Amino acid sequence: MSIVVTGATGQLGRLVIDELLASVPASSVAAVVRDKEKAADLAERGVQLRIADYDRPETLADAFEAGDRVLLISANEVGRRVPQHTAVIAAAKAAGVAQLAYTGILGGPEADFELAAEHKETERLILASGLPHTFLRNGWYTENYTANLAPVLAHGAVVANAAEGRIASAARADYAAAAAAVLTGPAEEHANRVYELSGDTAWSLAEYAAEIARQTGREIAYTNVPAAAHLDILTGAGLPAPFAAILVDVDEAIQRGALAATSGDLARLIGRPTTPIADTIAGALRSA
C-alpha cells in the first residue's frame, strides 16, 4: 500500500509530497507524473514514480494498486478535466484503492460559478464509483493574487469586478498540509467525508490593496470595474478570452459571497491557524 499523489510535479502536488515526506517514509509515497525527468528530484528523495497521462487512459492501468490511498489533484486544463478525471477514477476503481481524495472547490454542489462545474461533475463521478472517498473542497489560494503582484506594483492598482465581496483564502501550503493529514490519518476517520477548506479570515480586495500599500509604502488603490470592462482589461493584457471570462465570472461569484465561507475545517485538519494574507504578501514581495 502506498500514498499516491497525482499531478505530483505541480505547485500543489510538490507541496503535498513535502508534507508527506515530513511524516512517512519516502518508500511509501508514490508520485503519478507524465514527465519522468521533471520528477527526477522526487525520485532522488526516494519517492516511487508511476508514469501516466490523464489524456491516455491506458497509461493509468499501473498508476494505482490495491489498498493505495490516492490524492487526485484536479487537472489544470479547464474544459478538459471531466474526461481526464473520469480516466483516473476508473483506474482507481479497477485497482481497488482504499481511499480516493479529491481537491474540489469550496461549496461543492452549491458553488454557482463556471469554474466549479467540472469539480461538481467529478464529485458526482466519484460518488457513482462507490470508492471510499474524501472531498477536499479547496477555497481560493492567496497565491492566485500574490503571483500577480508585478502589474499591481507597476500600475499602483488592484483591478477587479468583485466589488466588496470577501475571500477566505489560505496559502497553497495550508491546503497541501490538509491533504497530507487526510492521507496519513486514520482512513476510517476521513472515509466518505467532506471538508470545506478555507482560510480563517475573509478579506476584501480593498483590504488586500491596503496591505500591499502598507508593506511597500506605495499608493495602491483598489479599482472596482464593471464585468465587461474587466474582461477587456484581461484580454488586452493577453489572457485568452475564455480564461478571462472565467476570472470575471469568479469575481462576480465573490460579490455573491461564494468564496467567503470560513468553516474552520482547514485549521482543524492542519492543527494550526491558516496563513495570514499579510504573510503571503510579504513572501511574494521578497521574491519579486
- As a whole-number percent, the residues of the chain with pLDDT over 90 amount to 96
C-beta separation of 103 from 175 below 8 A: yes
* Beta strands 203-204 and 166-167, pairing class: antiparallel
Confidence at residue 154, expressed as pLDDT on a 0 to 100 scale: 94
| Set of cell numbers at residue 156 | 499602483
| Set of cell numbers at residue 96 | 481497488
- Residues in CB range of 283: below 8 A, 6 or more apart: 146
The average pLDDT across 105-109 equals: 96
- Adjacent-strand bridge partners of 3: 29, 69
User: Which residue has 496591505 as its cell numbers?
Assistant: 211
C-beta separation of 192 from 133 below 8 A: yes
Ramachandran region of residue 135, left (φ > 0), alpha (ψ -120 to 50) or beta? Answer: beta
- Residues in CB range of 3: below 8 A, 6 or more apart: 20, 24, 28, 29, 30, 68, 69, 70, 71, 183, 184
Confidence at residue 256, expressed as pLDDT on a 0 to 100 scale: 97
Radius of gyration of the chain (CA): 19
Does an H or E element contain 167, and which? Answer: strand 166-167
Confidence at residue 7, expressed as pLDDT on a 0 to 100 scale: 94
What is the spatial distance between Cα 167 and Cα 262, in angstroms, rounded to a whole number? 9
Architecture in CATH for domain 145-166+200-260+276-287: Alpha-Beta Complex (3.90)
CB atoms within 10 A of CB 261: 19
User: Which residue has 501516466 as its cell numbers?
Assistant: 52
Task: Using pLDDT thresholds of 50, 70 and 90, give the confidence band for residue 109.
Answer: very high
| Set of cell numbers at residue 140 | 481560493
Quick one: which of 90, 1, 85 has its CA closest to 48? 1
Ramachandran region of residue 75, left (φ > 0), alpha (ψ -120 to 50) or beta? Answer: beta
- Whether residue 288 is predicted with pLDDT greater than 80 in this model: the reply is no
- Whether residue 78 is predicted with pLDDT greater than 90 in this model: the reply is no
| Set of cell numbers at residue 137 | 473542497
Quick one: which of 57, 100, 76, 86 has its CA closest to 10? 76
Task: Using pLDDT thresholds of 50, 70 and 90, give the confidence band for residue 72.
Answer: very high
Helix, strand, or coil (residue 109): helix
Per CATH, domain 3-139+171-197 is 3.40.50.450: no
User: Which residue has 484581461 as its cell numbers?
Assistant: 234
Domain boundaries, the chain: 3-139+171-197, 145-166+200-260+276-287
**Burial (CB count <10 Å: 0-12, 13-18, 19+), residue 248:** buried
- Adjacent-strand bridge partners of 158: 222
What is the spatial distance between Cα 101 and Cα 22, in angstroms, rounded to a whole number? 20
The average pLDDT across 200-221 equals: 98
* Per-residue model confidence as pLDDT tens digits over 222-243: 999 999 999 999 999 999 999 9
